[in-house]
Chain A
Amino acid sequence: MTATHDIGPGPAQPSGRRAAEPPPGMVERRGASLWLTHALLILGVLVVFFPIWLAFVASTVTQPEIARPPMPLWPGDRFFENYREALLSGVNVPVATMLLNSLVMAIGIAVGKIVISLLSAFAIVYFRFPGRTFFFWTIFLTLMLPVEVRIVPTYEVVAGFGMLNSYSGLIFPLIASATATFLFRQFFLTIPDELAEAARVDGAKPMRFFWDIVLPMSRTNIAALFVILFIYGWNQYLWPLLITTDPSMNTIVMGIKQMFPSGDDIAEWPVIMATSILAMIPPVIVVVSMQKLFIRGLVDSEK
């Protein structure tokens, strides 16, 4: 059969392995080296996980317990109280509100970026219009301009439109994406031309072809990008900090910083830590639930 027949996940087949040897793996290890590998991996996980564990512990104890050294290493009994306080009242505004704001913004950015870049990549790849390459390179050039570089003029524009303290102000300035456009362009270029021609012979108009053929074929790429862009949107800090002055429009990532006390106020560390833990949950859910699609979207495309 042809090479395209079986791209799906299957057992790895290392070349040159003789029949009597143990089950396949990328690199085979046995005995001491196997244990050593695992020990190192576990150590690595512990190192990475430790700060998160500390944050969790801090979110389950009382304020005096945190302030008194040494810091506790095992969870306390204030889990429900602290989290209830964070979610429902918070410091400036309930965390539930900030979570909702972040969710709207992250989904808005991810979906908006995907829609816009899908359409622009489709235009650039499948239509011959004057200045096609020029537009592509213009889009490509903006890759080199991060949000921070154009933040002052963008602020001017958004303020001029009266979009401060609004979801549209949070979402729209971040919605155009050169990276995603570029990725989709590269993917579309790998779709054989004959497919577009077959659709044309079948009578599909361009947008029909887009809906029926291009979009379903891109779905793993879309999923992968959604994960990346959701986290990108969720983690936005500087932009929400600039344009949301009303606490009820705060997003959670910047909200955590806003919770820090100014001057002589006492920081409510357990609540802040509970907020941090809560802020981590949605991205984790997105990554874990879309993991399969995500990996597939990054490693192979259905052709």
Chain B
Amino acid sequence: MATVELRNIKKRFGKTEVIHGVSTEIDDGEFIVIVGPSGCGKSTLLRMVAGLESVSDGEIRIDGSRVNEREPMERDIAMVFQNYALYPHMTVRQNMGYGLKIAGTPKRQIAAKVDEAAALLQLSDYLDRRPKALSGGQRQRVAMGRAIVREPKVFLFDEPLSNLDAKLRVQMRLEIKELQERIGVTSLYVTHDQVEAMTMADRMIVMNAGRAEQIGKPLDVYERPATLFAAQFIGSPSMNVLDGRIEAGEMRLGSAALGPAPAGLPDGPVKLGLRPEHALPDPDSPLRLRVRLSEPLGANTLLHGQLDQAEAPFTACLAGVHRTNGSGEIIPLRVAPEAIHLFSPETGDRLN
């Protein structure tokens, strides 16, 4: 168990810089999720921590000592890969014990550790099988087992659930989180799925185009996204962003007044961020949603359409069943002023 420190990490491939300086400190036993769209550099960042990718600039410290120049195994990390990367010709037992075997651990000790990890992961009955004869979820668990038996300082997960079907993904999500809490190893987890990030992370790093847009607790990021990107990436369905303005201390969208603006903001154009779940039906509200499509999910209903006051599409998420008359229906909606996020139209940074 250990702390991990990233100090202004940069990565260049030739002349192209793909990671523009990421810094953070990870506490002992913390579960950090790096989340972002594909191509944002999250996997590259993880692979730099693993030592599979060289660091162009900056410093990585594990437990206080610089590891930039160390081989992966000398960093005392274990990694779980997206496609599991199990050795196909070895049994589950051999797969899990391979790292220890290389390290020269006595056979009896390897067997004991593998048995222990297998029991933890409910793999005891499958120890003599080849990966080929396992299901996706079981292979995933073997990959985890291989990481656990090494008793590393840091776990690294590279999109470990993206090859599983939706139901199994939810189950494995819980299992991984539970396991990490039980053995308390510092973990870095890369995913493009914001639900995984929200549910598993102690803190998350929202990455976009090689930059860490926001680092914080999942609910903090949800409630107070620091940038437009973080606002739209976290939360499902994603936040509605509309062009509005502040006039005489009041937030306005077209002709509609949305309530008092936070103090200290100058008049002028702003980006208004409205979460779909914060839109409530209110017959007196001036905001009127012209419904184009409705998606009844049972627990709630998604209404897609357009507001009278804005060009951009708008999605509202109403609680419970909501039977519409189909396309063209007009529903007046209200969003509480304190639930409105304000962003600068130029930089995308949060204003309130």
A associates with B: yes
Contact (Cβ within 8 A) B77 A201? yes
Identify the stretch in A31-39, A41-49, A209-217 within 8 Å (CB) of chain B at 4 or more residues.
A209-217
Give min CB distance, B162 to chain A, whole Å. Answer: 13
- Find chain A residues with CB under 8 A from B86 CB: 198
Contact (Cβ within 8 A) B71 A200? yes
Contact (Cβ within 8 A) B89 A200? no
Contact (Cβ within 8 A) A202 B132? no
For the side of the interface on A, what is the size category?
Answer: 20 to 34
Max chain B C-beta neighbours (<10 A), residue from A192, A200, A201 = A201
Cβ of A77 within 8 Å of any chain B Cβ, yes or no, is no
- Find chain A residues with CB under 8 A from B83 CB: 192, 194
Set A7, A192, A202: member contacting B99, Cβ < 8 A: A202
Cβ of B136 within 8 Å of any chain A Cβ, yes or no, is yes
CB-CB contacts below 8 Å: A196-242 with B: 197-204, 208, 212-213, 216-217, 219
Contact (Cβ within 8 A) B85 A192? yes
Give min CB distance, B35 to chain A, whole Å. Answer: 21
Q: A194-B81, A197-B85 are in contact. Are A202 and B135 (CB under 8 A)?
A: no
Instruction: Name the residue on B nearest A202 (C-beta).
Output: B99
Cβ of A128 within 8 Å of any chain B Cβ, yes or no, is no
Set B71, B79, B135, B163: member contacting A198, Cβ < 8 A: B79
Set B79, B87, B132: member contacting A5, Cβ < 8 A: B132
Contact (Cβ within 8 A) B88 A217? yes
CB-CB contacts below 8 Å: B71-115 with A: 71-73, 77-79, 81-83, 85-89, 98-99, 102-103
Contact (Cβ within 8 A) A213 B87? yes
CB-CB contacts below 8 Å: B127-159 with A: 132, 135-136, 146, 150
Set A2, A197, A303: member contacting B88, Cβ < 8 A: A303
- A197 and B78 CA atoms in complex are apart in Å by 11
Instruction: Name the residue on B nearest A215 (C-beta).
Output: B89
Q: A198-B81, A217-B89, A302-B88 are in contact. Are A1 and B102 (CB under 8 A)?
A: no
Instruction: Name the residue on B nearest A205 (C-beta).
Output: B102
Cβ of B52 within 8 Å of any chain A Cβ, yes or no, is yes
Contact (Cβ within 8 A) B71 A202? no
Q: How many residues of B contact A (CB 8 A)?
A: 26
Instruction: Name the residue on A nearest B130 (C-beta).
Output: A302
Cβ of A195 within 8 Å of any chain B Cβ, yes or no, is yes
- A4 and B84 CA atoms in complex are apart in Å by 13
Contact (Cβ within 8 A) A4 B99? no
Max chain A C-beta neighbours (<10 A), residue from B73, B82, B86, B163 = B73
Instruction: Name the residue on B nearest A193 (C-beta).
Output: B85
Contact (Cβ within 8 A) B87 A195? yes
Contact (Cβ within 8 A) B79 A201? yes
Cβ of B50 within 8 Å of any chain A Cβ, yes or no, is yes
Give min CB distance, B172 to chain A, whole Å. Answer: 15
Contact (Cβ within 8 A) B99 A203? yes
Give min CB distance, B166 to chain A, whole Å. Answer: 15
Contact (Cβ within 8 A) A201 B50? yes
Q: A4-B132, A194-B81 are in contact. Are A200 and B102 (CB under 8 A)?
A: no
Contact (Cβ within 8 A) B98 A202? yes
Contact (Cβ within 8 A) B85 A195? yes
- Find chain B residues with CB under 8 A from A203 CB: 71-73, 99, 102-103
Contact (Cβ within 8 A) A194 B102? no
Additional A-B contact list (5), CB under 8 Å, known A195-B87, A201-B79: A2-B163, A194-B83, A197-B79, A198-B146, A213-B87
Interface residues of A (CB under 8 A from B): 1-2, 4-7, 192, 194-195, 197-204, 208, 212-213, 216-217, 219, 302-303
Residue pairs across A and B with Cβ atoms less than 8 A apart, 19 shown, are A192-B83, A192-B85, A194-B81, A194-B82, A194-B85, A197-B81, A197-B85, A198-B79, A198-B85, A198-B146, A200-B73, A201-B77, A201-B78, A203-B71, A203-B72, A203-B73, A203-B99, A212-B98, A213-B89
